[in-house]
């Protein structure tokens, strides 16, 4: 965050004081008011000064408005070429950068040693506050995951590091160069970075709005009707009636159109409108757009919530202690419901009301229906053939606002749809399918697995789809590589809020002694992802898949052909619908 060096100022002489008083200015002690010797005092009118005040250069012939009018200024440092007008309450304790515009504001106040949102504990997942994520500038989805998933480690190990970091890197009580605060009722202890625009906010308390973009490309913004307390917005947008408490809004994320949130985190490129989030960990590209949708007590990424999507996390004897995970790429239909705790497998479509704490992580790309008793019926692999899946894989990087704004990217994101954790799930699912078939169907004619229900026909089709997908993945990874030069390695993978990495590195991170060391480990794992993936692919081949690679090219072609066929069917259906509605 940009820091400000106060402009050089000098004391007022008697004639300058007299002129200011003629222009409606007042001060109980003019000796404490300092101005630049280049300041045109005709631009200072109707101002009451209290305490120590410094005013930078003001020019009457400048290209843009400058001056201080109708304001109460107490213990402030005001930079060069600013325009401050109609502060109904007071400006107190703030440092104002160069070319700042402050207009039609109730109060802007900074208390001594204000935290400005840094260190706020965000109680994600279970709403009891037992899994606090401490927010600060440059917080990544990966670091936040560590805190949320390992609360004891956070309190016993990480918290001391964070406290030291907060002491060494306080957020400045300032409004940065070229920023603007307009038509805002109240702003208390909110650090505002350079070029940030705050327009029409109602109430902002204990927060920071941070801009990392190059000059002229600022994305960070707070808009009309926003009411926010205990927050950090970093290269994100919060606008149009948003109400939030204890929140982090990350790079490229947008909260808009009356969205409400408490104790929630929104990382890269999330888009949230109209609905509500409670104790939510919204990993990259979480999207919810409907007034009737409530995301609660869960972790999401690359997720798209249908209208009326809901979850329940409350146990009446013990409170809201349940939480769950929707793995990357999940979509929910209108009215979808999930009783936490549970997990939803990657790139699945959730439909109906699931009331049995379903865990479908082993079955990615599935349709998930709920029967009349709330049990989850799994149709494995159906989503694999969807043309929308291929569209998702290309649209996400194309829509990365961090790239468009040339931001330093904090969250590490692997966009691959077919990736090691998902392929690992499919490999395990293939083994489970064989076990279920050997065991036989239950009395209802279905296979039962950990409370899930799978039809025989779905199992057979799912097995073939997963097999083709694994071969497609192995073919794509090896067709241009001399695998004889690769050393095989068995790797247990984890998808940590968008970053795919070996669990062994994650375990090493828990032993590290500094934030810099942890950050470097995440970045190194991100840079090494492709090479580690190839070592694991070699290991998979050695587990029996090498013998099937003669079929891999045909499987890859079949995979692509199925997706293309789905695209053509979708276009035909769209054409039929358009013809139906034509005049």
Contact 373, 390 (CB under 8 A): no
Long-range CB contacts for residues 129-133, cutoff 8 Å, separation at least 24 = 129/263, 133/248, 133/265, 133/281
Last residue of a domain, one of 89, 109, 129: 109
Degrees (nearest 5) of the Cα angle 146, 148, 153? 60
- pTM summary value: 0.95
Q: How far apart are CA 583 and CA 571, in angstroms?
A: 20
Helix (H, G, I), strand (E, B) or coil at 187: strand
Q: How far is CA 376 from CA 104, 256, 306, 325, 480, in A?
A: 55, 33, 18, 16, 41
Q: How far apart are CA 502 and CA 387, in angstroms?
A: 30
CA dihedral 554, 558, 561, 563 (to 10 degrees): -140
Q: Are 525 and 426 members of one domain?
A: yes
H-run or E-run covering 456 = helix 456-478
Helix (H, G, I), strand (E, B) or coil at 433: helix
Q: Are 105 and 233 members of one domain?
A: no
Last residue of a domain, one of 109, 127, 149: 109
Q: Per the structure block, which two tokens stand in for 560?
A: 């692509």
Q: Are 423 and 554 members of one domain?
A: yes
The β-bridge partners of 337 are 310, 353
Q: Are 67 and 126 members of one domain?
A: no
Q: How far is CA 119 from CA 170, 206, 231, 270, 315, in A?
A: 10, 11, 10, 22, 29
Q: Per the structure block, which two tokens stand in for 153?
A: 């480690």
Burial class (CB in 10 A: 0-12, 13-18, 19+), 313: buried
Burial class (CB in 10 A: 0-12, 13-18, 19+), 315: exposed
Burial class (CB in 10 A: 0-12, 13-18, 19+), 67: buried
Q: Are 501 and 528 members of one domain?
A: yes
CATH number, domain of 192, equals 2.160.10.10
Q: How far apart are CA 36 and CA 53, in angstroms?
A: 11
Q: Does 270 map to a domain? A: yes
Q: Count of residues for the chain?
A: 583
Question: What pLDDT was estimated at residue 9?
Answer: 87
Q: Are 239 and 207 members of one domain?
A: yes
Q: In 3D, which of 141, 142, 151, 164 has the Cα closest to residue 121?
A: 151
Q: Are 10 and 67 members of one domain?
A: yes
Q: Are 162 and 244 members of one domain?
A: yes
Question: Using the 8-state DSSP alphabet, how is residue 519 labeled?
Answer: H
Q: Are 420 and 518 members of one domain?
A: yes
Strands (E), 456-513: 493-496, 499-502
Q: Are 483 and 536 members of one domain?
A: yes
Q: How far is CA 263 from CA 115, 120, 268, 277, 574, in A?
A: 18, 10, 17, 8, 41
Last residue of a domain, one of 256, 282, 308: 282
Q: Does 248 map to a domain? A: yes
Q: How far apart are CA 576 and CA 312, in angstroms?
A: 39
Domain of residue 250: give its range.
110-282
Q: Are 78 and 122 members of one domain?
A: no
Instruction: State the pairing for strand pair 203-210/132-134.
Output: unpaired
Q: Does 470 map to a domain? A: yes
The β-bridge partners of 256 are 273
CA 205 distance to own-chain centroid: 21
Question: What pLDDT was estimated at residue 456?
Answer: 96
Question: Using the 8-state DSSP alphabet, how is residue 235 labeled?
Answer: S
Q: Are 499 and 554 members of one domain?
A: yes
Q: Does 503 map to a domain? A: yes
Q: Does 51 map to a domain? A: yes
Q: Does 320 map to a domain? A: no
Tens digit of each residue's pLDDT, the chain (583 residues):
555 555 688 999 999 999 999 999 999 999 999 999 999 999 999 999 999 999 999 998 888 899 999 999 999 999 999 999 999 999 999 999 999 999 999 999 999 889 999 999 999 998 888 899 999 999 999 999 999 999 999 999 999 999 999 999 999 999 999 999 999 999 999 999 999 999 999 999 999 999 999 999 999 999 999 999 999 999 999 999 999 999 999 999 999 999 999 999 999 999 999 999 999 999 999 999 999 999 999 999 999 999 999 998 766 556 677 889 999 999 999 999 999 989 999 999 999 999 999 999 999 999 999 999 999 999 999 998 886 777 788 899 999 999 999 999 999 999 999 999 999 999 999 999 999 999 999 999 999 999 999 999 999 999 999 999 999 999 999 999 999 999 999 999 999 999 999 999 999 999 999 999 999 999 999 999 999 999 999 999 999 999 999 999 999 999 888 888 888 887 888 888 888 888 7
Question: What pLDDT was estimated at residue 312?
Answer: 83
- Between helices 529-540 and 456-478, what is the axis angle to 10°? 120
Q: Does 375 map to a domain? A: no
- Please give the full DSSP string across 134-182, using - where no structure is assigned: E--TT--HHHHHHHHH-HHHIIIIIHHHHHHHHHHSPPPSEE-TT-EEE
Instruction: State the pairing for strand pair 271-273/254-256.
Output: parallel
How many domains does the chain divide into?
3
Q: Does 389 map to a domain? A: no
């Amino acid at each position: 965050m940009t820091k400000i060096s106060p402009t050089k100022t000098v004391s007022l002489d008697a004639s300058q004081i007299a002129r200011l008083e003629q222009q409606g200015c007042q001060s109980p002690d003019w000796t404490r008011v300092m101005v630049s010797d280049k300041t045109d005092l005709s631009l200072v009118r109707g101002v009451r000064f209290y305490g120590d005040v410094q005013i930078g250069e003001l020019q009457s012939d400048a290209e843009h408005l400058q001056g201080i009018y109708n304001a109460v200024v107490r213990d402030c440092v005001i930079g060069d070429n600013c325009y401050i007008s109609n502060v109904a309450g007071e400006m107190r304790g703030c440092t104002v950068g160069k070319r700042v515009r402050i207009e039609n504001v109730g109060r802007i106040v900074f208390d001594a040693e204000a935290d400005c949102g840094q260190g706020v504990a965000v109680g994600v997942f279970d709403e009891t506050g037992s899994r606090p994520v401490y927010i600060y500038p440059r917080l990544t989805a990966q670091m936040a995951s560590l805190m949320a998933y390992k609360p004891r480690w956070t309190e016993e190990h990480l918290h001391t590091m964070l406290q030291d970091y907060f002491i060494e890197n306080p957020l400045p009580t300032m409004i940065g160069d070229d920023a603007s605060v307009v038509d805002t009722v109240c702003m208390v202890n909110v650090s505002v970075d350079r070029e940030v625009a705050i327009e029409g906010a109602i109430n902002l308390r204990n927060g920071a709005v941070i801009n990392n973009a190059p000059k002229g490309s600022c994305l960070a913004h707070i808009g009309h009707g926003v009411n926010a307390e205990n927050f950090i917005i970093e290269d994100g947008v919060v606008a149009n009636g948003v109400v939030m408490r204890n929140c982090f809004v990350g790079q490229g994320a947008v909260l808009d159109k009356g969205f409400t949130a408490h104790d929630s985190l929104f990382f890269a490129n999330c888009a949230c409108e109209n609905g509500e989030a409670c104790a939510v960990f919204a990993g990259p590209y979480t999207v919810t757009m409907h007034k009737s949708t409530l995301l609660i007590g869960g972790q999401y990424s690359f997720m798209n919530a249908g209208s009326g999507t809901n979850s329940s996390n409350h146990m009446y004897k013990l409170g809201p202690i349940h939480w769950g995970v929707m793995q990357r790429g999940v979509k929910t239909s209108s009215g979808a419901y999930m009783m936490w705790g549970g997990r939803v497998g990657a790139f699945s479509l959730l439909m109906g009301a699931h009331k049995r704490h379903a865990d479908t992580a082993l079955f990615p790309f599935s349709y998930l229906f709920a029967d009349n008793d709330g049990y989850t019926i799994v149709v494995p692999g159906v989503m694999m053939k969807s043309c929308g899946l291929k569209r998702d894989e290309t649209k996400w990087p194309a829509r990365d606002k961090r790239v468009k704004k040339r931001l330093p990217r904090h969250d590490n994101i692997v966009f691959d749809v077919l990736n090691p954790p998902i392929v690992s799930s499919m490999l395990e699912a293939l083994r489970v399918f064989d076990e279920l078939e050997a065991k036989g169907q239950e009395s209802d004619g279905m296979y039962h697995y950990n409370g899930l229900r799978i039809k025989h026909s779905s199992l057979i089709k799912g097995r073939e789809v997963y097999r083709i997908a694994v071969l497609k993945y192995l073919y794509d990874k090896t067709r241009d590589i001399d695998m004889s030069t690769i050393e095989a390695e068995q790797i247990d993978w984890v998808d940590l809020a968008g970053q795919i990495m070996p669990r062994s590195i994650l375990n090493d991170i828990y032993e590290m002694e500094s934030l810099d060391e942890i950050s470097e480990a995440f970045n190194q794992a991100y840079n090494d992802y492709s090479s580690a993936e190839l070592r694991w692919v070699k290991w998979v081949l050695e587990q029996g898949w090498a013998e099937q690679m003669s079929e891999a090219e045909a499987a890859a072609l079949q995979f692509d052909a199925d997706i293309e066929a789905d695209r053509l069917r979708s276009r035909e259906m769209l054409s039929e619908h358009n013809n139906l509605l034509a005049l």
